[in-house]
Structure 1
Amino acid sequence: MPAMVSNTAQTAAVSEDLPPASPRIRLADGRYLAYRESGVPKNKANYKIIIVHGFGSSKEMSFLAPQELIDELGIYFLLYDRAGYGESDPNPKRSVKSEALDIEELADQLELGLKFYVIGVSMGSYPTWSCIKHIPHRLAGVALVVPVVNYRWPSLPDHLIKDDYRRKLIKWGLFFAEFAPGLLRWWVTQKWLPSTSVLERNPVFFNSRDIEVLKTIPGFPMLSQEKLRQQGVFDTLHHDFKLAFSRWDFDPMDLSNPFPQNQSSVHIWQGYEDKVVPFLLQRYISFKLPWIQYHEVPDGGHLIVHYAGLCEAILRALLLGEEHLHYKPTIAKIVS
């Protein structure tokens, strides 16, 4: 039976008048970051992994891994609430770089050692890309699971993105987030709009396997109209979205291999049927950065992290260098 590295409840920003329920560290700038530890005890671990949650999630996200594998390899997991999420304080100076520096300071205060692994899921990938850019010397290995693609990266070829409807949706979302956040908040909290339960089962966003998964997990309660009416929750999501899809201080396709001696590796895991992030762009990125090991789930959507056996495959590839042939693309991944 797989062990749940975290329980499946997802939380919104904690009310200021409620005491924190989770341990927290105080960062150098005075903010607090909440975290949760799982796996084997830290002092007995052979592998220390920080998991970075995505949009509308928290340190309570699900990451399923077999207990036998965790014990056999000696894996310690550290999950934390990114700035403004869960029980962590917002960062008024939040940037793509600050996300990586939060991870580094969290690792230092919890004494993870000189190097640690990072797994970023969905929108948790932009802090993970930032780690490769800003703190590569601290990384023992990296995995990006269905990572978001920022259509403003200068090196993305126009023929792959010009007709992508997701690009247009993000463009309009950024416009309202920048110039009319009040209108955006009003729009997403109207009672006549579909509930998140309807959106979660919408084939526009999820394939059939994702929809089956959504029948067994809580979904995205932070994105409910009730939660979005809370100013703190809306502000966190609003700022996170803007940061992920606005201009960054670097283009990932200009990055150098953080492991030039092949002492470790970077991985991308992508669903072939992902309707949130197109697989063609992930293939292009892995072609431009040949030091990235690319894995593709043939019938996978955007929620592959919840698929049975997938987290084990991610860990085996990242920690042991094992390649599961089922996730090796069967057609050429080169996209010209």
Structure 2
Amino acid sequence: MFREIAVVLLIGFLAWAYQAAYPPPPKLCGSLGGPPITAPRIKLRDGRHLAYKEHGVSRETAKYKIIFVHGFSSSKDAIGGLTKVPLEVREELGVYFVSFDRPGYGESDPDSKRTPKSLASDIEELADHLRLGSNFYVIGFSMGGQVVWGCLKYIPHRLSGATLIAPVVNYWWPSFPANLSREAYYLQLQQDQWTLRVAHYTPWLTYWWNTQKWFPASAVAARRPEVFSRQDLELLSTVAGSQTPKATQQGEFESLHRDLMVGFGKWEFDPMDIENPFPNNEGSVHLWHGDEDRMVPITLQRYVAQKLPWIHYHELPGAGHLFPYVPRVSEAILKALLLSEK
């Protein structure tokens, strides 16, 4: 009798564990019961759809064409403070922007096979579909900045220039000295340390960890005040519209959780092994970071800049993670990218 009860309890526990660890299917846009499709989308080679939004001057008249990559828990509707660049400046420069929902976000189909390489391929396909020409610029903010590393690795021949704004770092990139990455890792809140451990070492438990109620999960996803600098807290009302329920309307697993697994998983390359894509100064790469960023440690960005001296490194004193929303900062970022080689 005891054995039978134990077997039943074991089966029940395994069934519960499987259900708790296995995410529900995403609510695809345009599917029965799913969110509606409201934005223009392109169909990629693998059948997925990518939603996008155009900003600035028209494609036909633009002098500069830029693809913007949004960050964590955001969408194509937020272009990292670039809307703060005065209209007359954008028109004078002749800048066209296109932003897109990364896979699983907003109205773009999820990609269960998402990798840094596949994201670079998505960007290249978007550029070709919109006929942006043989070369274009990329700008990425936060987790979107991390995506730019994939562009520098896999499609450098398509780039006119690139900017990484407060790019998220992966503490497990091989080139980081162990003591440096360990010290930076432990600067995070303990709940974020555990969130990233799970995403890196046991990615199959990522959904469970971020939905269970026993321990606090990601403080960044919860937007706890402790992850923001003093400047960030002052800017929060400015960026409130960049994180909306629509960003994760298809489900948090294929958006937020997939971001964690890809961003902090095992990469197929080390960014610090990337060669200069512009050896003849025909373009430039810029990395901007605030020295009071509490989400991405400044010490690791300094190391990246030291290892890759061809990157134009801009460190902003007193700035947190949201510094692109400071008036005139985004204008400086834009002009540095577009005019530095002139």
Would you say same fold, with TM above 0.5?
yes
Instruction: Give the structure 2 partner of residue 120 of structure 1.
Output: 140
Structure (1 or 2) with the larger CA radius of gyration: 2
Distance 1:227 1:117, change over 3 A: closer
- 1:303 maps to what in 2? 322
Does the CA-based 8 Å contact 1:13-1:233 persist in structure 2?
Answer: no
Query: How large is the RMSD of aligned CA atoms in angstroms?
Result: 2.9
Alpha-carbon distance between aligned partners in 2 of 1:287 and 1:194, rounded to the nearest angstrom:
33
Name 1:69's counterpart in structure 2: 89
SS at match of 1:209: helix
Quote the Cα distance in structure 1 between the aligned partners of 2:133 and 2:242: 34
Counterpart in the other structure of 1:200: 223
TM-score (norm 2): 0.82
User: For residues 219-266 of structure 1, what are the alpha-carbon distances to aligned partners after superposition, in whole Å with 9 as ceiling and x for unaligned?
Assistant: 6645x7x997x7722332111110001111110110000001011100
Which AA in structure 1 matches 2:335?
Answer: R
Report whether the alignment pairs 1:55 with 2:55. no
CA distance in 1, matches of 2:175, 2:75: 31
Output aligned runs, 1:284-295, within 5 Å: 284-295=303-314
Q: TM-score, normalised by structure 1?
A: 0.83
After superposing on structure 2, the runs of 4+ consecutive aligned residues of structure 1 that deviate more than 6 Å are 191-198
Secondary structure at 1:105's aligned position in 2? helix
Mapped partners of 1:186, 1:13: distance in 2: 20
Which of 238, 257, 270 is the equivalent residue of 2:257? Answer: 238
2:12 corresponds to: none
Distance 1:272 1:60 in 2: 27
- Residue matched to 2:15: none
Shift of the 303–93 alpha-carbon distance from structure 1 to 2, 3 Å rule, reads same
* Corresponding residue pairs, total: 306
The answer for the alignment partner of 2:280 in structure 1 is: 261
Structure 1 residue 21 displacement after superposition: 0.7
Instruction: Tell me, in whole angstroms, the C-alpha distance in 1 between the residues paired with 2:201 and 2:299.
Output: 28
Is 1:108 aligned to 2:109, yes or no? Answer: no
SS of residue in 1 equivalent to 2:292: coil
Structure 1 residue 86, shift from structure 2 partner: 0.3
The answer to whether the Cα contact below 8 Å between 1:227 and 1:233 also exists between their aligned partners in 2 is no
Residues 252-300 of structure 1: CA distance to partner in whole angstroms, max 9, x if unpaired? 1100000010111000000010011111111111111000000011111
Give the match for residue 297 of structure 2. 278
Give the Cα–Cα distance (whole angstroms) in 2 for the partners of residues 192 and 245 of structure 1: 20
Q: Distance in 2 between matches of 1:197 and 1:102?
A: 26
Find the aligned partners of 1:227 and 1:192 in 2 and give their Cα distance: 25
Output the CA distance in 2 between the equivalents of 1:135 and 1:261. Answer: 17
Alignment of 1:1-336 (within 5 A): 14=29, 16=31, 17-62=34-79, 63=82, 64-164=84-184, 165=186, 166=188, 168-174=193-199, 178-187=203-212, 190=213, 200=223, 202=225, 204-218=226-240, 221=243, 232-321=251-340
Question: Where do 5+ consecutive residues of structure 1 fail to align?
Answer: 1-11, 324-336
Spell out, residue by residue over 1:183-234, the C-alpha distance to the aligned partner (whole angstroms, 9 max, x if none).
32433xx5997998995361x2111110011133326645x7x997x77223
SS in 2 for 1:302: coil
Secondary structure, aligned partner of 1:262: coil
Deviations 1:132-172 (A, max 9, x none): 00000000000000001111111101221223313834543
More RCO (CA 8 Å, sep 6+): 2
State the secondary structure of the residue aligned to 2:42.
strand
